[in-house]
Amino acid sequence: MLRLKWLNSRPRGRTMTAGLLVLLLSSGCASLGPTTINRDRFDYITAISESWKKQTLLNIVKFRYADAPVFLEVGQVISGYEVEGTFSAGGTIGTKTAAGALGDFVNLGAGARYLDRPTVTYTPLTGPEFIKTMMTPFPPGALMFLIEAGWSVNIIMQVGLQSINGLRNHKGGFLGHPPDPEFVKLILLLRRLQDAGALGIGLQREKNNEEAIMLLFHTRRLTPELAKDAATVKELLRIQPDVTEVRITYGADAQEENEVALLTRSGFQVMMELASLTSVPPEHVAEHRTYGGDLKGADEKQALPPLMMIRSTVEEPPDAFARVRYRDHWFWIDDRDFQSKRVFTFLMVLFTLSETGQKLQQPILTIRAN
């Protein structure tokens, strides 16, 4: 609380007090914007990240129940602030009446208003943008360079591929099928070669001046056991034993010699696959709200470990990496399940790879300046 008291009725006292009032008013002119950056930037990052995880998880669960997925992208975030302050002062100095002097006094008044008006725009993913992002297969080259970036080859191929040179991957869903035993063997061998640094990705300029993605087999410092693994990989892919560079293409099977054809999935297909790994309440299966059970005919010795696990409980989970409420149940990924978290994060990375073509024009906003 601010209190002022007149010392006497001389003009000097009035001059000092007026100067103090000007100082108080001018101190409120400091810029508010820079002080909000540390707070707003990271708060919005956290909020957008959490909402993105929840939206992705919810749509995976919806796929399991044959429900329509909805994608809403955050287009723009604009924070606007208003700070207004008022100050008033009045008083009487040395006033005298017929009854005598009343003395000196001053009346002070102050008011302030603070407004935070964030503007957030949302862009629904529909029409051509939905087809580009969700229905277009991932570029084979982009998946290969993720291997070069350090992502595990088994995660990339289990999540992003339908087949490689005709060897079929696991397919979830009501009409799914187990993976081919040769596909499982190939994935395990490729992971061993990757861990040993025996796999690489390169570019090669072709006659039409286009760049081709090449899968490289590094033979330097290979142990006899790893050399045998590399030979088995080439046999499974129908590649000549002495070849160290093979061309990567898109397709169901290789069309030329020493070629690896990747039949990649789309975002829609990946979410269908992960939806099949969702744990659902038994009563929902009994009531035919969703399908249940594992695929028939899968050999446990040949089966790859599950990509991820989405759990379901009635009570809200206490320690979840991501959780959503759907049909009176909580569906969630345990924060202590590192494998599931890696695959879930990889899924969101894949969505950025599938965003091909020109983006929709964002709405133009006019922000009032105060």
Residue type, position 302, single letter: Q
| DSSP assignment string, 244-311 | -EEEEEESSS-SSTTEEEEEEPPHHHHHHHHHTTB---HHHHHTTSS--SPPTT--TTTPPPPS--BE
Answer for the pair 194, 289: CB distance below 8 angstroms, yes or no. no
Q: Is the dihedral of CA 160, 164, 169, 172 positive or negative?
A: positive
What are the backbone dihedrals phi and psi of residue 134, each rounded to the nearest 5 degrees, phi first?
Answer: -105, -30
For the chain, where are the alpha helices, taking DSSP H only? 11-26, 33-64, 127-130, 140-148, 153-160, 181-195, 224-236, 267-275, 282-286, 338-353
Rounded distance, CA 28 to CA 47, Å?
Answer: 31
Rounded distance, CA 63 to CA 360, Å?
Answer: 26
**333: closest CA among 324, 345, 320?**
320
pLDDT < 70: residue spans in the chain: 1-33, 81-85, 87, 89, 91-106, 127-128, 131, 293-303, 353-370
Question: What was the pLDDT predicted at 68?
Answer: 86
Residue type, position 354, single letter: S
Rounded distance, CA 200 to CA 365, Å?
Answer: 46
Rounded distance, CA 69 to CA 71, Å?
Answer: 7
Question: What was the pLDDT predicted at 228?
Answer: 94
Give bridge partners of residue 164 from the DSSP assignment: 167, 262
What digits encode the pLDDT tens for the residues 76-123? 777 776 666 676 767 666 655 555 555 566 677 777 777 777 777 877
DSSP state of 16: H
Answer for the pair 9, 104: CB distance below 8 angstroms, yes or no. yes
Answer for the pair 82, 32: CB distance below 8 angstroms, yes or no. no
| DSSP assignment string, 37-59 | HHHHHHHHHHHHHHHHHHHHHHH
DSSP state of 238: T
Q: Is the dihedral of CA 341, 345, 346, 351 positive or negative?
A: positive
Question: What was the pLDDT predicted at 25?
Answer: 46
DSSP state of 171: B
Inter-axis angle of helices 338-353 and 140-148, to 10 degrees?
130
CA angle, residues 222, 187, 346, in degrees to nearest 5: 110
Q: How many residues does the chain have?
A: 370
Q: How far apart are the first and last CA of the chain?
A: 28
Question: What was the pLDDT predicted at 123?
Answer: 77
Question: What was the pLDDT predicted at 59?
Answer: 93
Question: What was the pLDDT predicted at 329?
Answer: 96
Structure tokens at 355: 């965003």
Rounded distance, CA 234 to CA 243, Å?
Answer: 9
